[in-house]
Amino acid sequence: MTQFDEKTIRETAYYIWKNNGCPANSSAHDWNAAIEQLEQRDALSTAKQISSVYKAAYLASRIKADAKKKDSLQLMRKIILK
């Protein structure tokens, strides 16, 4: 779990409060909602980073497989054409 600084939580809670129509006595709820929202953003960011790493690894393996395939085809051509 990421620790967020008070300023970030306060600003996020303020925007939640404003978005909800500035209700009275909702500060604790808005504060908790802000933390939850920030945690969700952080988790999504992490998931995107992990996804990018897996995608890069997959593409690298495909490139490597294609290179091996080309090498095999070139070798077969040399053997056949001799």
Q: Where are the domains of the chain?
A: 6-81
Model pTM above 0.75: no
Find the mean pLDDT for residues 40-67. 83
- Calculate the alpha carbon distances from 16 to 6, 9, 40, 79, 82 in Å: 15, 10, 15, 71, 75
Confidence of residue 30 (pLDDT cuts 50, 70, 90): very high
Confidence of residue 72 (pLDDT cuts 50, 70, 90): confident
With b meaning 16 or more CB within 10 Å and e meaning fewer, what string describes 51-82? Answer: eeeeeeeeeeeeeeeeeeeeeeeeeeeeeeee
